[in-house]
Homo-oligomer: A and B are copies of this chain.
Amino acid sequence: MERLLTYTEAVREALEVEMARDPRIFVMGLGVDDFKAVNGTTAGLAQRFGPSRVFDVPLSEDAMTGVAIGAALAGLRPVHVHIRMDFLLLAMNQLANMAAKARYMWGGSVSVPLVVRAIIGRGWGQGAQHSQALHSLLMHIPGLRVVAPSTPHDAKGMLIASIREDNPVVFVEHRMLADLKGPVPQKPYALPFGRATVVEEGGDLTLVGVSHMLQECLRAAALLRTKGLSAEVIDPVSLSPLDAETIARSVRKTKRLVVADCAWTACGAGSEILASTAERLGGGFKARRLGLAPVACPTTRVLEDLFYPNSRTIASAAYALATGDESWRPEAGDAPEISQFKGPC
């Protein structure tokens, strides 16, 4: 019998099982020990492991990232949690100038086994400063690993892998995935970095969905089937290293690539995927990126709905790429995780 967990439960389970295994692991961050427990992802951990291994911190993202790095240099394995990825902009110096570089710049003398969990916000008027998906900034920096699993199964396996990894990993979650349910094996397992998953096979075009957009791609694939098009749907899971080979293999077959990201497109994960595919294939495929409108995230729902790609816009773009017909606008309801989501935060 399959065991179903939500994404949140999978994250929580990964933390708990790893913390029980290795006393060097600890969890720090704003609110990790309060009653909301970072949307439930750290629920019960403070109770089980005590305040020295699960603790709240002052609002000092820069120094707290440095503290986490220092602890990692001393051999501990910190998991630093940010309830919004936007706050990482305060930690960029520590992440990019130190965590990413320490090992190389000191000739291999040290490791920085640090996990930074960062949650992408969305919906209910989160607005410009509480909704950003900034993974591409981190993908640009060598020395960091960046993963963005889109299922409970991968969330557990990649978080365990991240915690066991001897290099800094930014673990990207998405608020619209939090309640997604899926099968999650009971026992601990680590998934490899740099391996994409072909979620659905298809021959007419390749859809790559980053983080929450994987869900929208799956829905888009269903819409496309109604028009007789079969999409291969790929989840990169690991953004850095990126499994460009798996994507290229698919595009070699389908000759068409659509990447949907929950971030802006310029210098985004989609750019990287298109570029690495172009290098590998030497032409012979059509491609399109979908991502956020090139503005700050608006709060009002009518604009927010236009700001994000969704199954309809993905399907429409894919259809246009496959047929040349730009006019198809499929009808479909909004994703339940979006339409049913209620604030206040």
CA distance A129 to B139 in the complex (A): 18
Q: Are A267 and B128 in contact (CB under 8 A)?
A: no
Q: Are A295 and B104 in contact (CB under 8 A)?
A: yes
B residues within 8 A CB of A282? 286-287
CA distance A22 to B278 in the complex (A): 47
Q: In this assembly, does A55 line the interface, its C-beta being within 8 Å of a C-beta of chain B?
A: no
Q: In this assembly, does A285 line the interface, its C-beta being within 8 Å of a C-beta of chain B?
A: yes
Interface positions, chain A 137-177, Cβ under 8 Å from B, are 137, 139-143
Stretch from A7-15, A88-96, A327-335 forming part of the interface with B: A88-96
B residues within 8 A CB of A344? none
Q: Are A136 and B267 in contact (CB under 8 A)?
A: yes
Stretch from A194-202, A216-224, A269-277 forming part of the interface with B: A269-277
Q: Are B266 and A270 in contact (CB under 8 A)?
A: no
CA distance A28 to B181 in the complex (A): 53
Given A97-B129, A128-B104, verify A289-B275 contact (CB < 8 Å): yes
B residues within 8 A CB of A129? 97, 101, 105
B residues within 8 A CB of A319? none
Q: Which of B101, B266, B275, B284 contacts A283 (CB 8 A)?
A: B284
Q: Which of B142, B263, B272, B294 contacts A295 (CB 8 A)?
A: B142
B residues within 8 A CB of A287? 275, 278-279, 282
Residues of A within 8 A of B (CB): 62, 86, 89-90, 92-93, 96-97, 100-101, 104-105, 127-129, 132, 134, 136-137, 139-143, 240, 242, 255, 263-272, 274-279, 282-289, 294-296, 298
What are 13 A-to-B residue pairs whose CB atoms are below 8 Å? A62-B62, A89-B96, A96-B132, A101-B296, A105-B129, A137-B140, A140-B266, A140-B268, A143-B296, A240-B266, A270-B275, A271-B271, A283-B283
